[in-house]
């Protein structure tokens, strides 16, 4: 229980004043305290329903208590990407895995480690393009292992041709796809690595992730 609570609260501190748990609105301090209030409500519900172990059932019940009017509840902690084996046996769980070009993932991650996440101890081993790319490869391999038991979505398809992807998401979740907010999709985010990565960074990424990227049709 307590390791889970510490992990969630650490994630809240990483997010700080930036959007993650709630839509962006108001001043940074408003977002910060809204995030913390939401996380606190959720964690209190976890404590209420658990008997010492935080499993899928506890997470599901705690989120439903946090959002009692919601038809569906979801959780998208990045750590789940490496722990899919724990959740694939859950019949009530509709897992969606969104993967993205390793170069853009690496670019985004490195920008964060050098700005918003700067100085945080956990980022020390993710300071190079090669290290981040290796992490991406490992998670893609896990994704491929369980791909038949979840909906796998290519990020670039989602943001560039949502009219093709959102109906699949709706069918998978058994909801009306017209309810998805297309305005939150940013097609301009595709290829952002060209603005931030050096030629050496890209070379490191391709040396580590090139074969995996080719398998996923990234050129």
The tens digit of pLDDT for each residue in 23-72 reads: 555 677 777 788 888 899 999 999 999 988 898 889 999 999 999 999 88
Together in a domain, 81 and 51: no
Beta bridge partners of 152: 97
Q: Same structural domain for residues 60 and 167?
A: no
Give the containing element (helix H, strand E) for 112.
Answer: helix 102-114
Residues 81 and 40 in one domain: no
Asked if residue 106 and residue 31 are part of one domain, the reply reads no
Total domains, the chain: 2
Identify whether residues 51 and 123 lie together within a single domain: no
Domain range for 36: 1-74
pTM of the model: 0.87
User: 101 and 80 in one domain?
Assistant: yes
Spatial separation of the C-alpha atoms in residues 156 and 97, rounded to whole Å? 13
Backbone angles phi, psi at 150, to 5 degrees: -150, 170
Domain boundary among 74, 99, 118: 74
pLDDT one-digit tens code per residue, 58-88: 999 999 999 999 988 888 888 888 888 888 8
Residues 112, 16 share a domain = no
pLDDT at 209 over 90: yes
Average pLDDT, integer, range 157-182: 96
Phi, psi at 218, each rounded to 5°: -95, 130
Q: Is 67 found in the same domain as 82?
A: no
Any idea of the CA torsion for 127, 101, 209, 152, to the nearest 10 degrees?
A: 120
Same domain, 56 and 106: no
How far is Cα 79 from Cα 34, in angstroms, rounded to an integer? 22
Sole residue written with tokens 């991406």: 136
């Amino acid at each position: 229980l307590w390791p889970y609570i510490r992990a969630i609260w650490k994630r809240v501190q990483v997010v700080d004043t930036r959007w993650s748990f709630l839509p962006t609105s108001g001043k940074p301090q408003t977002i910060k305290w809204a995030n913390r209030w939401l996380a606190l409500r959720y964690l209190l519900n976890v404590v209420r329903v658990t008997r010492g172990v935080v499993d899928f059932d506890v997470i599901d019940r705690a989120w439903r208590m946090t959002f009692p009017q919601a038809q569906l509840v979801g959780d998208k902690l990045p750590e789940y990407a490496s722990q899919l084996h724990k959740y694939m046996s859950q019949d009530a769980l509709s897992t969606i895995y969104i993967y993205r070009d390793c170069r853009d993932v690496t670019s985004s991650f490195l920008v964060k480690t050098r700005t918003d996440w700067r100085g945080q101890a956990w980022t020390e081993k993710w300071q190079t393009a090669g290290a981040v790319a290796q992490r991406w490869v490992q998670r893609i391999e896990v994704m491929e292992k369980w791909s038949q038991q979840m909906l796998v979505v290519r990020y670039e398809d989602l943001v560039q041709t949502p009219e093709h992807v959102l109906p699949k998401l709706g069918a998978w979740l058994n909801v009306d796809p017209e309810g998805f907010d297309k305005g939150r999709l940013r097609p301009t985010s595709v290829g952002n690595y060209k603005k931030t990565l050096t030629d050496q960074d890209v070379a490191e990424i391709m040396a580590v992730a090139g074969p995996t990227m080719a398998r996923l049709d990234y050129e």
